[in-house]
Structure 1
Amino acid sequence: MDTKKLTRLASLCAICVITRIYLKLIPNVQILSDIILILAINGKLDESLIVNATTMIITSFFLGFGYWVIFQVLDFGILGISNFILFNKIKIKRTKINKAIALGLSGFIYGFLITIMQVLFMSGNIFTFFGLYAGSIPFDINHMVGNIVIYIFLIFRLEKYIMGEKHFKN
C-alpha cells in the first residue's frame, strides 16, 4: 500500500469517525454508510472493508463496545460485498440513480440484517424477530432516506476524491 492510498484511507476513516460521533443524535443517518458502499460499488472492496472495520472499532471507544459492534462490522461487510458483486461482477451500470437506489436499499437492508443477527444471538424465535423488526422500521426508513440524501447532496460531488481519482490542490 503506497503512501497516497494510506493517507486517503486514513482521511476517509477520520471523516467517518468524526461524522459518526457528531451525527449520532440523528438516528441512522451516517456518512459512513455512503462512503463504505461507494468504495465497494466503484470496485475498491478492500478499501471499503478497511474503512468499515477501522471506523467501527474507533467509534466504539466513544459510543460504547458491545456485541453489536461485531454485527455492525459484519453487516456493512455483507452490504459492501453485495454492492461490489452487483456493480462489478453482475455489471449493473454505475449511474447516479442506480447508486442512489443501491445506497437506499442498503440502508433498509442494514436494519433487517442487524435484526436477524440480534435474534440469532438472543436465541429468539420468529415472534422476537417480528417484534424487533417492527420497532426498527422507522429507523431503517431514516437510514434509507439519509443514505440517498447524503449521496445526492454530498458524496456524489466528492466521489472522485473519495476514490482517489482527484486530489485537493495545495
Structure 2
Amino acid sequence: MTLQRLTRISLLAALCVALRQAFAPFPNVQPISAIFFLLVIFEDYIFAFLVMALTMFVSAFFMGMGLIVFFQIAAFGCWMLLWRMCYKWLPFAIQILLVGLMSFGYGILIDSVYAVFYHMPWWTYALVNGFSFNLAHALSTIGFYPLLYHIFRRFYVEKNHF
C-alpha cells in the first residue's frame, strides 16, 4: 500500500470522526454512513472498509468503547460489501432509497446485538425503542447521500483524484 493511499485513508477517517463528533448532539443524524457507501462506489472495497473501520474505532474512544464496536465494524463491512455488489444496476433514485433502507437495517441489526448482550426482549429493544433512532439514521443517510454524491463525483470522476 502506498503512502499516498494510506494518507487518503487517514484523512478521510479523520474527516469522518470529526463529522461524527460534530453531529453528536443529533442522535443518529450523521453523514458518515453516506460517505462509507459512496467510498465503496468511488474507491475499492478495501479502501472503503479501512476508512469505515478506522472511523468507528477512533470515534469509539470519544463516544464509548466496547465489544459492540467490533460488531458495528463487521456489520457495516458486510453492508458495504452487499452495496458493492448491487449498486451498479440501480438508478440513482433507487440507490438513495436503498442506502436509507440499509442504514435502517443496520440499526436494527446492531440493536439486536445489544438486545442479546443485555438479555432484553428483541422486539422491545430493537424494534420499538430503537425505531426513532434508526429512522433518523435512515433519513439522514437519504439526505446526505445525494449531496455528497455530487461532491465525490466531482473529485473522483472529473478530476480523477481526491
**Paired position in structure 1 for 2:133:** 139
Which consecutive residues of structure 2, in runs of 5 or more, have no partner in the other structure?
none
Query: Superposed, which structure 2 residues align to 1:26-45 within 5 Å?
Result: 26-42=26-42, 44-45=44-45
1:121 aligned partner, one-letter code: F
Matched, 1:105 2:101: yes
User: How far 1:144 sits from its partner (Å)?
Assistant: 0.8
Structure 1 unaligned spans of 5+: none
% identity of equivalent residues? 28
Q: Which amino acid aligns with 1:159?
A: F
Change beyond 3 A, Cα 1:22–1:121: same
Q: Which moved more, 1:157-166 or 1:76-85?
A: 157-166
Q: Give the partner amino acid of 1:65.
A: M
Alignment of 1:148-163 (within 5 A): 148-153=142-147, 155-160=148-153, 161=155
TM-score normalized by the length of structure 1: 0.83
* Superposed structure 1 runs of 4+ greater than 6 Å apart: none
1:165, CA displacement in angstroms?
5.5
Cα distance between partner residues in 1 of 2:156 and 2:56 = 18
Q: Distance in 2 between matches of 1:24 and 1:38?
A: 21
Name the CA distance, whole Å, in 2 between partners of 1:158 and 1:5: 19
Residue in structure 2 matched with residue 129 of structure 1 by the alignment: 122
Question: What RMSD over aligned residues (CA atoms) do the two structures have, in Å?
Answer: 2.2
Q: CA deviation at 1:58?
A: 0.8
**1:8 shift after superposition:** 1.9
Once the two structures are superposed, residues 75-131 of structure 1 have per-residue CA deviations (whole angstroms, 9 ceiling, x without a partner) of: 2112111111223xxx423x431321222111111111112222333355xxx1100
Contact in 2 for aligned 1:43/1:84 (Cα 8 Å): no
Q: 1:38 to 1:51 in 2, by over 3 A?
A: same
Gap change, CA 1:11 and 1:163, over 3 Å in 2: farther
CA offsets, 1:18-59, max 9 Å, x none?
001121111111221111111224462111210111011111
TM-score by length of 2: 0.87
Alignment-derived partner of residue 84 in structure 1:
84
Equivalent residue pairs, number: 160
Establish whether residue 120 from structure 1 lines up as the match of residue 116 from structure 2. yes
Which whole-Å CA distance do the structure 2 matches of 1:163 and 1:72 have between them?
A: 30
